[in-house]
């Protein structure tokens, strides 16, 4: 009987540590998003998916308050990964266009 009580206590303690880790990771990820230049808006999104957009020239990241911290963390990480992939694609396209422009300049000369 005592072993069961201890086991339940340790499981609860592990769950608490895991929850604290998720909250800490969420805070860190939101801090990183702000460092990139995002304004973070935490709102109940009413069945809308958390995402980002540009509002009046400001990068804005939406986080759904109706979700658990774990779900919020997953959504924020996915959203930031999508943003980074788009940024990488834009940089690649700009470099490609710059190379094309330079090549055309050489042909014209």
Whole-number mean pLDDT of the chain? 81
At residue 47, the pLDDT reads 79
At residue 1, the pLDDT reads 45
Mean pLDDT of 83-108: 70
Q: Which two tokens stand for residue 88?
A: 């990488």
Selection from 78, 95, 1 nearest residue 33 by Cα: 78
Residues 52/33, Cβ–Cβ less than 8 Å: no
Q: Is the pLDDT of residue 83 over 70?
A: yes
Rounded-to-integer distance, Cα 84 and Cα 53, Å: 13
Mean pLDDT of 38-44: 94
Mean pLDDT of 86-109: 67
Residues 38/27, Cβ–Cβ less than 8 Å: no
DSSP one-letter string for 41-91:
EEE--TTPPP-EEEETTEEEEEEETTS-HHHHHHHHHHHHHHHHHHHHHHH
């Amino acid at each position: 009987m005592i072993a069961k009580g201890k086991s339940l206590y340790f499981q609860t303690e592990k769950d608490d540590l895991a929850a604290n880790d998720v909250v800490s990771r969420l805070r860190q990820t939101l801090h990183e998003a702000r460092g990139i230049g995002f304004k973070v808006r935490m709102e109940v999104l009413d069945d809308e998916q958390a995402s980002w957009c540009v509002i009046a020239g400001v990068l804005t990241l939406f986080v759904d308050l109706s979700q658990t911290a774990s779900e919020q963390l997953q959504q924020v990480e996915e959203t930031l990964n999508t943003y980074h992939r788009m940024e990488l694609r834009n940089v690649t396209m700009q470099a490609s266009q710059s190379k094309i422009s330079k090549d055309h300049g050489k042909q014209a000369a």
